[in-house]
């Protein structure tokens, strides 16, 4: 989650549109709770990033607590009012998004060094891989934005619009031939 740095000569990534940094040093024995709200310019920039027509509201309650010594667990709840584009009619579609999220952060010194290649073993998938802190800080705004993008409806539809049936898709002039239908015809005796 590092932004604005270069790694191995790669160009620096642009700064996130919605940054709210919390120093890991603030998180000691008790839980730290942050309420964050995206401003108008931040919502416009995030809408452009996620190819939305608009984000009318984005808020989150984020809780940070110390675990395993130097690591910090972040759990949050976000709420957003977004305007997406109907995949069928291209009309604006208003949606409310509510999502819970969780992540684990660790200082660079505690993260394994995978070099240039990451070979993810099946047993590692069950374990929670910590994310890197950015100079001892955690960007809870960017974390919220990332989870908003994951919670968006990938195929928004205007009210009353149903997805096209398989027959309608097959009858479409732009439809490609169904490869299984071609195989079925080959199997039939002539």
The model's pLDDT over 66-113, given as tens digits with 9 standing for 90+, comes to: 998 889 999 999 999 999 999 999 999 999 999 999 999 998 887 876
Other CB atoms within 10 Å distance of the CB of residue 21: 14
- Helix, strand, coil percentages for the chain (3-state, nearest 5): 25, 30, 45
158 by DSSP, 3-state: which?
coil
Pairing of strands 32-37, 92-106: unpaired
Q: Inform me whether the pLDDT recorded for 122 exceeds 60.
A: no
Other CB atoms within 10 Å distance of the CB of residue 116: 6
């Amino acid at each position: 989650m590092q932004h604005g740095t270069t790694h191995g000569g790669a160009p620096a990534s642009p700064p996130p549109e919605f940054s709210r940094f919390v120093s890991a040093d603030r998180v000691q024995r008790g839980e730290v709770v942050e309420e964050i709200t995206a401003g108008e310019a931040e919502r416009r920039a995030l809408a452009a990033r996620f190819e939305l027509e608009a984000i009318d509201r984005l808020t989150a309650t984020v809780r940070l607590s110390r675990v395993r010594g130097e690591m910090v667990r972040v759990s949050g709840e976000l709420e957003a009012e977004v305007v997406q584009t109907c995949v069928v009619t291209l009309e604006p579609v208003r949606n409310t998004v509510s999502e819970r999220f969780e992540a684990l952060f660790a200082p660079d010194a505690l993260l394994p060094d995978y070099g240039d290649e990451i070979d993810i073993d099946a047993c590692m998938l069950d374990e929670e891989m910590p994310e890197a802190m950015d100079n001892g800080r955690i960007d809870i705004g960017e974390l919220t934005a990332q989870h908003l993008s994951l919670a968006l409806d990938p195929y928004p539809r205007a009210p009353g619009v149903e997805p096209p049936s398989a027959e309608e898709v097959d009858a479409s002039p732009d439809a490609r031939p169904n490869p299984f239908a071609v195989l079925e015809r080959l199997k039939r005796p002539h």
